[in-house]
Amino acid sequence: MCTDEWLSDPETAYSQWQRAEATGADRRAFADQSIVQHCSMFSRFNDYLSTRGQCVATFGADHIDAFFGELARDCQPGTTTRYRYLKLIDRLARHLVALELRKENPAADLLARENWPEDEPTPIYLPEEDDKRLQAVCRTTTCASAKELRNTAIVALFLGCGVTAAELSLLRVADLDMEDKRPSVLVEKHGPRRLARRVRSTVSPLMCCARTMRPGKRLFARRTGFSWQRPQASL
């Protein structure tokens, strides 16, 4: 991988590194579900750095602390969100030091002082086999109606981008970028807590669905008393 890409297109560089080289503490490659989550987390951190005039080669411990200050508004006390981000940033910085794009790892001392919270609920994921089956269904489904098209797009977006139900309901067709090498979706800032961010998609059906919809329309219409639910294994 060209090291210049970490400075010109860090999200693409991060995704390629995750898929080709990155490993966890057990030295094993990350599962696809973990890579999707890591890329979404990195996208948020990278967006934060960009708005402060920083990049992956220049951020320091003060930027990490300030990022966690904003992140705390979205997180309940006692969860592992901060710890997970610290591990991600520490792993990233160590890799950039190895590439000689950084001289030090500002997350190392912060991570050494962090403890895993007690009573953290176990995240629920689809088993990898079911995840792949669901992706295959999204890719091969022929949508005979607008409703089927919408439902396929909802499932594809949850699988590929990790957005929340509230963020999903606010998306417009214009928020989808299908021209880049890797399609992405722009999640606008809403409320005092959520930062705007662009998330790269790993599942393509949503982008194909968007081509059939009229510009300016909401991608997913809201209905009173109805909330979108995260896809379950039974799908």
Asked if residue 47 lies in contact with residue 143, where contact means CB atoms within 8 angstroms, the answer is: no
In a domain, 220, yes or no: no
Residue 192 carries which side chain, given as an amino acid letter? P
As a whole number, the mean pLDDT across the chain is 76
In a domain, 219, yes or no: no
Pair 132, 55 in one domain: no
Cα(118)–Cα(157) distance, integer angstroms? 31
In a domain, 58, yes or no: yes
Residues 69-106 pLDDT 10s: 888 877 666 567 888 899 999 999 999 999 999 999 99
Boundary of a domain, candidates 79, 112, 145: 112
Pair 108, 201 in one domain: no
Pair 17, 107 in one domain: yes
Q: What are phi and psi of 65, to 5 degrees?
A: -60, -45
Banded model confidence at residue 30, pLDDT cuts 50, 70, 90: confident
Pair 139, 96 in one domain: no
Pair 107, 148 in one domain: no
In a domain, 119, yes or no: no
The CATH number of the domain holding residue 92 is 1.10.150.130
In a domain, 235, yes or no: no
Asked if residue 186 lies in contact with residue 196, where contact means CB atoms within 8 angstroms, the answer is: yes
Asked if residue 173 lies in contact with residue 149, where contact means CB atoms within 8 angstroms, the answer is: no
**What does pTM read for this prediction?**
0.52
Boundary of a domain, candidates 65, 86, 112: 112
Question: How far, in whole angstroms, is CA 171 from its chain's centroid?
Answer: 16
- Using alpha carbons, select from 73, 78, 69, 45 the residue that is nearest to residue 59: 45
Cα(79)–Cα(197) distance, integer angstroms? 22
Cα(115)–Cα(184) distance, integer angstroms? 34
Pair 65, 139 in one domain: no
Pair 155, 79 in one domain: no
Regarding predicted confidence, which is higher, 101 or 199?
A: 101
Pair 20, 105 in one domain: yes
Residues 142-158 pLDDT 10s: 777 878 877 877 777 77
pLDDT, average across residues 171-190: 75
pLDDT for 192: 47
DSSP 60: -
What is the span of the domain harbouring residue 151?
A: 128-210
Burial of 201 (0-12, 13-18, 19+ CB in 10 A): buried
Pair 30, 67 in one domain: yes
Cα(152)–Cα(212) distance, integer angstroms? 13
Assess whether pLDDT exceeds 70 at residue 43: yes
In a domain, 168, yes or no: yes
pLDDT more than 70, % of the chain: 71
In a domain, 106, yes or no: yes
Question: How far, in whole angstroms, is CA 193 from its chain's centroid?
Answer: 17
If DSSP codes are grouped into helix, strand and coil, which group holds residue 206?
A: helix
pLDDT, average across residues 116-124: 57
Pair 13, 106 in one domain: yes
In a domain, 141, yes or no: yes
Pair 16, 80 in one domain: yes
Report the domain count for the chain: 2
Residue appearing with tokens 């959520």: 194
Pair 97, 11 in one domain: yes
H/E/C letters for each residue in 98-127?
HCCCCCCCCCHHHHHCCCCCCCCCCCCCCC
